[in-house]
Each structure stands twice: as C-alpha cells, then as structure tokens.
Structure 1
Amino acid sequence: MSYPPPSGGWHDPSTPGPQSSPPDPYAPADPYATAGYPPNAYPQPGAYPPPAGYPGYGYPPAPKQNGLAIAAMVVSIIGALGLCGYGLGGYIGVVGAILGHVSRKQIRERGEGGEGFATAGIIVGWIATVLAVLATIAIVIFIVWAANHDTSGFDGTTY
C-alpha cells in the first residue's frame, strides 16, 4: 500500500529524488560576512524571533507585594516573641492582626500580592493576643492568691 506524499515541504527519505530542505532560520549567521565587522559582528536582538504560537522566554512579572501585609506579619511575629516577657508582649499581636485585615482588603481592591503574608499576620497576631490574655489572667490570679496567702508561718498551733 502506498501513501500520498507528505505536504508542507517535507520529503520522505525512502523515496528517490532530490532532497532539498528549506534554509534553517535558526542557523548561526557568519559574523565575518557583514561589512561592519567588528561592531555588527553579532546578529541584532530580535533577528530570529521564535515561531508564532510559542510563548516568550522567562516568567511573567510577579505582582507588586503589599507592604502592609509584610508589616502585619512582622509585627505579629514580634508580638509572638513578646510572649516570652511574662506573656504581656503578646498584646502587640492585636496590631499585627488588624494590619493583616486591612492589608487583605487592600490586596483584594488593588490586585496586589501578599495574601499569604496578610493571612499569616492575622493568624499569628490573634494567637499571640489570646495567649497574652490568658497570661494576664494567670498573673492576676497568682497576685490575688499571693495577696490572700498567709506568709507568716505562724498558725497558732504548738508542737
């Protein structure tokens, strides 16, 4: 069974006949063939564009990051680290959480990047705040207990 010859300038290597191939548009140019050597020794940029339908090189540019989202995350982390100071430094986490909420609103309105930073600021900020409130309650309970505790050691009994 025989097949029709392929179209598009391609030749079947098993068929006899002249085999001429189209010139390769990506073949390197001879730099010595130009009259302006050395200034024009290399092909100009864009001399060989990629065929139509192929995407360009590289990645698309990343969206602009929202600075408030980064600030929310940093302030919330500082609030979480402030928990080491008797837990009272965790109240700074409220500021980070509020900044995170404001930055998420800005990100939705402006189409900026930084959604993850804002979310991290909100979560870490509220966790630091809750732990600071619990630490404050524990400190108050300890102070009330210590104030009502008899420290004299004398209870009136004899041994």
Structure 2
Amino acid sequence: MTQPAPGYAPVPAAPKTNVLAIVSLVISILGFNVIAIILGAIALSQIKKTGENGRGLAIAGIIIGAISIVLIIIWIIAIAALAASGAITTTTY
C-alpha cells in the first residue's frame, strides 16, 4: 500500500455489501419468494448490527417476494372463481 501524501489521511475502505441481501434479491427474481423474504429479513438484521451495505437490496428482495406471493394468490382466487362460475369448463373427446 502506498503512503498518502503528507497532510492527507488515507481513504477508509468502503463497507462490504451483505451477501444475504444480494442472495435475497436474486432468489426473489428467480421466484423463490418465501425464501427471499426470510433471507431479506435476516440480511436487514445483520446490516443493522454490522453496518454493511445492501439495505436497499434486502428491502427489494422482500418487496419483490411479497408482491409475487400476493399476485400468485390473486391468480389462484381468480381461477377458482372462474371455475366455480362455470366460465372454465373441461371437454373430453
């Protein structure tokens, strides 16, 4: 490591990005929503304790996971309602 110029302090290293926050975001995009929400919550807890970067990534993983679960539930309810109303029928040949 080189010495700083006289009169200047060395630049401190930037904090690391929390790995679980990154994994939470990636897993939520891949569709493993419940796991993404859990990992995001754990990442937020670790970030609070350690001061690492990645809070936004963890929050994004939680939000994407939660929205995906809500959309899946709405989709299932819509299909069930259509089936109950007779709008969806099956035909056999």
Question: Shorter-chain TM-score category?
Answer: 0.7 to 0.9
Counterpart for residue 66 of structure 1:
18
Scaled by the length of structure 2, the TM-score of the pair is 0.77
| Uncovered stretches (5+) of structure 2, i.e. residues with no partner | none
Q: 2:83 aligns with which of 126, 143, 147?
A: 143
Shift >4 Å, 4+ stretches: none
SS in 2 for 1:65: coil
Counterpart for residue 97 of structure 1:
37
1:60 deviates by 3.1
1:94 deviates by 2.4
User: What letter corresponds to residue 135 of structure 1 in structure 2?
Assistant: W
Q: Select the structure that is richer in helix.
A: 2
The percentage of counterpart residues that share the same residue type is 44
Counterpart for residue 86 of structure 1:
none
Bigger-Rg structure (1/2) = 1
Say what the alpha-carbon RMSD is for the aligned residues: 2.5
Alignment: residue pair count: 89
| Uncovered stretches (5+) of structure 1, i.e. residues with no partner | 1-44, 80-91, 152-159
Question: Which is bigger in relative contact order (C-alpha 8 A, separation at least 6)?
Answer: 2
What per-residue deviation string (whole Å, max 9, x for no partner) do you get for residues 114-140 of structure 1?
111101101111111111110111111
Scaled by the length of structure 1, the TM-score of the pair is 0.48
